């Protein structure tokens, strides 16, 4: 972490807050919407998912990318969230 530029450290802290807000989001009845996005199903559980979805991603992968400072701007993280939602729409 010492060799990570301060601006990337600040970005990662902000993205962690966004990630936490997405994870905590609930509908009007109080039901959290994130559990289905936390971890992808395994290839054994849903083999056809991996045949249909070219770039699978889940919240755990996004969080890992945040923690590894893989995002150089907020837009890249946003695109991963959009990809995750798009994958869910395509599959369902």
The mean pLDDT value of the chain amounts to: 95
pTM above 0.85?
yes
- pLDDT per residue of the chain (92 residues) written in tens, 0 to 9: 679 999 999 999 999 999 999 999 999 999 998 999 999 999 999 999 999 999 999 999 999 999 999 999 999 999 999 999 999 999 98
Cα separation, 42 vs 45, in Å, equals 5
**pLDDT value, residue 69:** 97
Cα separation, 35 vs 24, in Å, equals 10
Q: Is 45 helix (H, G, I), strand (E, B) or coil?
A: coil
């Amino acid at each position: 972490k010492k060799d990570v530029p301060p601006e990337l450290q600040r970005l990662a802290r902000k993205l962690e807050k966004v990630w936490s807000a997405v994870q905590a989001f609930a509908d009007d009845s109080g039901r959290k919407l994130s559990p289905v996005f936390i971890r992808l199903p395994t290839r054994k559980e849903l083999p056809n998912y991996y045949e249909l979805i070219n770039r699978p991603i889940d919240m755990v992968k996004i969080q890992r990318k945040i923690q590894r400072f893989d995002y150089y701007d907020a837009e890249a993280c946003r695109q991963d969230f959009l990809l995750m939602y798009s994958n869910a729409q395509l599959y369902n």
